[in-house]
Chains A and B, each alone.
Chain A
Amino acid sequence: GEDVEQSLFLSVREGDSSVINCTYTDSSSTYLYWYKQEPGAGLQLLTYIFSNMDMKQDQRLTVLLNKKDKHLSLRIADTQTGDSAIYFCAETPSLSGNTGKLIFGQGTTLQVKP
């Protein structure tokens, strides 16, 4: 079945770049998403990439997609303490049709040290 895997924890210093990685199993996924969750809050959509793209940049965020290896990454440049949160990778599995169902990874907790 479909599966999305992420490492659970990443710690960086303020000002450094953060790279959060995600692997998925469904090679026919159409969209892949990155969501951010701050403590006690809902999920906020950060960015997404369509499966026929290999890179997308949006201000400090860069998404890289390697379809051959089924690997997705989110790079945050000049990481700030306000970036501390849990980051979720999610895919739209091919078997979901147009239901909009998403498969989420376990989430990566990003800790930014001053």
Chain B
Amino acid sequence: DGGITQSPKYLFRKEGQNVTLSCEQNLNHDAMYWYRQDPGQGLRLIYYSQIVNDFQKGDIAEGYSVSREKKESFPLTVTSAQKNPTAFYLCASSIEGNEQFFGPGTRLTVL
């Protein structure tokens, strides 16, 4: 089955720690995206990547970092510089310029 997987489903972080969220897709999509979702708000774009070894900042990139070493994988690191990281994080992929397909999400909670 083709799709997008995110892990873990739930993640707890202590203040001052970096954590990495995994996103993997086997759809052979070139483009991948990371969004943050807060209650009552739409999705806000953190980072996106159109091709391996290249990525661009979205609207709220501060306190986050990404890498794109393989086409299938686009991990997101939430650094200690992100002061309010508790949120639901969604990864998506697309064939360039077309509709995005989403993973099931990771809920990050800061303790």
Q: Is the CB of B41 within 8 A of A106?
A: yes
Q: How far is the CB of B109 from chain A (nearest CB, A)?
A: 13
Give the number of A-B contacts (CB < 8 Å): 60
B78 at the interface (CB under 8 A from A): no
Q: How far is the CB of A26 from chain B (nearest CB, A)?
A: 15
B20 at the interface (CB under 8 A from A): no
Query: What separation, in Å, do the CA atoms of A36 and B107 have in the docked complex?
Result: 18
Identify which of B4, B43, B97, B101 contacts A104 (C-beta below 8 A): B43
Q: A40-B105, A45-B101 are known contacts. Are A107 and B42 too (CB-CB below 8 A)?
A: yes
Interface size on A, residues (CB 8 A): 23
- Binary contact readout B44-66 vs A (1 if CB under 8 angstroms, 0 otherwise): 01001010000010100000000
- Binary contact readout B91-111 vs A (1 if CB under 8 angstroms, 0 otherwise): 010101111111111010000
Q: Mark A residues whose CB is within 8 Å of B.
A: 4, 8, 31, 33, 35, 40-45, 48, 88, 92, 98-102, 104-107
